[in-house]
A and B are shown apart, each in its own frame.
Chain A
Amino acid sequence: MIKKKMEEENRDKGMSKVVKTISFIIAIPIIIFGLYVILHGHLTPGGGFPGGAIIATLLALFLVAFGSYTVKSSHKELLSSLESLALVSFILLAFFGLGSTFFHNFLANTANIFGKSISYGVNNGYLPTGGTIPLMNIAVGFEVFAALSLVVLIMYTGQSGGGK
């Protein structure tokens, strides 16, 4: 009984109120910058991998600020399902191009979503270009975000990953 009480007191309840408030404020620019890097992967340096890693730093920040006390097993389930969903959508996008080959860019130069055609030359920075490339960037970005956050979350809390 005493042991249980000690454990309850030693639980990681995070840092002070100042850190918690500031982490909420700083979360907005982190999310916006990460989404910017993901969405502009076909125009500027960056893409799904670095963008997902940027957003995953947000979860590390929240873990340090709020402590493992606030982590529920449903968070892990949510992240793992997001990861699986993103990977499946990435593979599905690759399979949709199977009319000609695996990973064929079936949306490029079709004037559909993200299908604006572009000519040889300097980067004019039109966002709705690139065909399947931005869609795959988004899928990979969410996959990387979910995978990295899941790794950090599980290793920080040291608990089981499955929802029991």
Chain B
Amino acid sequence: MEKLIKITTLSILFAFLLVSFFCIHPAGKPNTSMMDDYFIQNAQAQTGSNNVVAAVLFDYRGLDTLGEASVLFAVASGIFILFSGKDDKKENGRGE
């Protein structure tokens, strides 16, 4: 029974992969390019930045960059907390 479930799951997954392999969208040819065209046409004039990628990163999608920066802040804070806990234990052990 278990073997049957495994085989069916695997075959379904394989079928999905096969279908997606043959029906995959060609790279560089988006279905709708309205947004891309808008950015390319207006990003330089609206943000004054020659680099459209930077314009998208820091202006149109600034919230995303804020999230990335906060993740880095959280990582640093987490390591801060992790290592300070280790030190406290050591000091306690020495004191006893």
Give residues in A with beta carbon < 8 Å to B: 41-45, 47, 49, 80, 83-84, 87, 90-91, 94, 102-103, 105, 108-109, 114-121, 123-126, 129-133, 136-137, 140, 143-144, 146-148, 150-151, 154-155, 158-162
Contacts and interface: CB of A to CB of B under 8 A. Distances in A.
A160 to B, nearest CB: 4
B20 interface: no
Interface of B: 41, 44-51, 53-55, 57-59, 62-63, 65-66, 68-70, 72-73, 75-76, 79-81, 83-84, 86-88
A123 B46 contact: no
19 contacts: A43-B49, A45-B51, A45-B53, A47-B57, A108-B48, A118-B49, A118-B50, A119-B44, A129-B48, A129-B49, A130-B55, A131-B49, A131-B59, A132-B58, A147-B73, A147-B75, A147-B76, A148-B72, A155-B83
B50 A43 contact: yes
Given A90-B69, A103-B59, A161-B84, A150 B76 contact: yes
Contact of B73 (A87, A117, A123): A87
A154 B48 contact: no
B79 A151 contact: yes
B67 to A, nearest CB: 11
In the complex, the 4 A-B pairs of residues with the closest C-beta atoms, listed nearest first: A103-B62, A161-B80, A160-B87, A160-B84
Given A118-B45, A130-B48, A131-B47, A136 B79 contact: no
Contacts of A105: 46-48, 59
B69 A87 contact: yes
Given A105-B48, A140-B65, 16 more contacts: A41-B58, A44-B51, A47-B57, A80-B76, A83-B73, A103-B63, A105-B46, A115-B48, A118-B50, A125-B50, A130-B49, A131-B59, A140-B69, A147-B75, A150-B76, A155-B79
A144 B75 CA distance: 11
B44 A120 contact: yes
Contacts of B55: 42, 130, 133
Given A87-B70, A143-B69, A154 B83 contact: yes
Contacts of B65: 136, 140
